[in-house]
Amino acid sequence: MTDLTITRLSASDAGFDDALSRLLAWDDSVDHQVNESVRHILREVKLRGDEAVMEFTAKFDQLEVASMAELEISAARLEQALDAIPSEQRDALEAAADRIRDYHQRQKQDSWQYQDADGTVLGQRVTPLDRVGLYVPGGKAAYPSSVLMNALPAKVAGVGEVIMVVPTPAGVVNDMVLAAAAIAGVDRVFTLGGAQAVGALAYGTETVPAVDKIVGPGNIFVATAKREVFGTVGIDMIAGPSEILVICDGNTDPDWIAMDLFSQAEHDEQAQSILVSPDAAFLDAVEDSIRKLVPTMERGEIIARSLSDRGALIQVKDLDEAAAVSNRIAPEHLELSVENPEQLVERIRHAGAIFMGRYTAEALGDYCAGPNHVLPTSGTARFSSPLGVYDFQKRSSLIGFSAAGAARMGQVASVLARGEGLTAHARSAEYRVDMNRDQ
Ligand SMILES: NC(=O)c1ccc[n+]([C@@H]2O[C@H](COP(=O)([O-])OP(=O)(O)OC[C@H]3O[C@@H](n4cnc5c(N)ncnc54)[C@H](O)[C@@H]3O)[C@@H](O)[C@H]2O)c1
Ligand SMILES: N[C@H](CO)Cc1c[nH]c[nH+]1
Ligand SMILES: [Zn+2]
């Protein structure tokens, strides 16, 4: 097993800022290789469609097929999976789906309009997207919960067609993933992953229909591919390797905190788990818990790599400084494991999801609390939000001038248009002014 190296930092040390920047940064050489490889995959998929998709699926997912039809899962197979899984799993999926649907219903935006004094009608028409692609990760683990988190907001929004892609390395299909797709009402499922799946959805192939927007989390290849195809299609955000930052006042059981850190570290060697506390003895105790518990974990190797390469235990002088460190990192998940989370949350400006108090394990949010678990990573919580119904709705402005309104505002438009030297704009507005003057 990988040697476990635990990075300890102190916010009061002179080199803290640099050390933190190094911890958060990706290795540039890895970045470069990933970018190159993703661009190549996308180019090939755009040029050669199904043929390239099948080649990359064979190469990266060890899944050889003679035709693309073999990479689509039928609706009947989804239903069969729903019947095949143990009732305990089906009940858990349905319980989670109910809470996720209930939470997301509240995000749905409706169209609105109002009339001003001239009788002019102004408003906003809200409509669902026609067709979306959901990326459900599946390289190192299968994520039925991510099927629910991606698909249910799309269904609540009323999206016309929901296409899901999920890699099935070596052709091993996970029945819980398929069952979740049946529960959520996904329309079509393809067993594709990585940049080739993102390319197929963005450009369309002979078999995979092009979508309007691609949402969902994935590894660094998926996140990079989404960044590359943005503009051809919409994307939700960059939701890459998972992250957790725990702020603890030192009074939570250290084993609980160690396991909370593991809960994200076990996703990926590139996941990031950070603990921030003003209590040095508590940091020691959590370090002991980590060393004690890693060997007991099924995914201990991934956890050890992730904690060693990207994890840290950070000492701060007080909870205010803890909040400042957290704001700088803008983590995907932030646990406030403190006596008074309501007070501390006031100081938090950037985080994908905030877990309030000692009992709120981040893992509950991953599965069944109700809010979405697809969240901005890599500091992008500074400017983006959790996946939600709003990602599947778009807005059109509505403008309906009355004759009186056209006359009044036509004069304003005319002055502004002539100021910009745009005569056609000006005269188009003036026609309506003059027409009203004649009447
Ligand atoms: N933010 C969230 O909501 C959320 C939810 C679940 C999982 N996650 C994250 O999603 C990620 C899942 O990663 P994963 O790897 O298990 O599954 P994944 O589906 O994201 O990636 C698997 C795909 O990566 C591609 N790939 C792998 N190695 C490659 C290479 N060398 N070159 C080109 N392509 C390659 C393959 O095509 C494969 O199909 C983890 O980082 C996890 O932390 C995030
Ligand atoms: N923690 C992931 C989001 O970063 C979501 C997830 C799915 N299953 C378990 N966890
Ligand atoms: Zn998780």
- The span from the CA of 17 to the CA of 412, in Å, is 53
Can you spell out the DSSP letters for 92-132? HHHHHHHHHHHHHHTT----EEEE-TTS-EEEEEEEE-SEE
Please tell me the distance between residue 364's alpha carbon and the centre of ligand 2 in angstroms.
10
Ligand 1 site-directed mutation target among 152, 221, 367, most atoms within 8 Å of CB: 221
Q: Which residues pair with 72 in a beta bridge?
A: 190
Cβ of 262 below 6 Å from ligand 2: no
Among protein residues, the one whose CA lies closest to atom 3 of ligand 1: 374
> Considering every ligand atom, which ligand is closest to the CA of 145?
2
Given ligand 2 and candidates 244, 366, 367, which is best to mutate, with the most ligand atoms within 8 Å of its CB?
A: 366
Q: How far apart are CA 269 and CA 292, in angstroms?
A: 19
Active-site positions?
332-333
Answer whether 242's CB lies under 8 Å from 271's CB. yes
Is 267 annotated as belonging to a binding site? yes
User: What is the length of the chain?
Assistant: 439
Q: Which two tokens stand for residue 204?
A: 């369309």
DSSP state of 230: B
What gap in Å lies between CA 325 and CA 385, rounded to an integer? 20
Instruction: Give the pLDDT score at 128.
Output: 98
143 lines ligand 1 (CB under 6 A): yes
The DSSP result for 177-207, as a single string, is HHHHHHHHT-SEEE---HHHHHHHHHH--SS
Ligand 3 centroid to Cα of residue 242, in Å, is 7
- pLDDT for the residue 439: 45
Say whether 124 counts as a known binding-site residue.
no
* Of 338, 310, 311, 320, nearest in space to 247 by CA: 338
The parts of the chain modelled with pLDDT lower than 50 are 439
**CA atoms of 202 and 94, how far apart (whole Å):** 31
Residues within 5 Å of ion ligand 3, judged at the Cβ atom:
366
Q: How far apart are CA 115 and CA 164, in angstroms?
A: 42
Amino acid identity of residue 49, one-letter, is G
| The predicted structure's pLDDT at residue 238 | 84
Q: In terms of pTM, does the model score above 0.90?
A: yes
Tell me if 256 CB under 6 Å of ligand 1.
no
Q: Could you tell me if the CB of 60 is within 6 A of ligand 1?
A: yes
DSSP string, 135-160: E---SSS--HHHHHHHHHHHHHHT-S
Residue 1 is predicted with a pLDDT of 67
10 Å CB burial of residue 439 (0-12, 13-18, 19+) is: exposed
Residue 196 annotated as lining a ligand binding site = yes
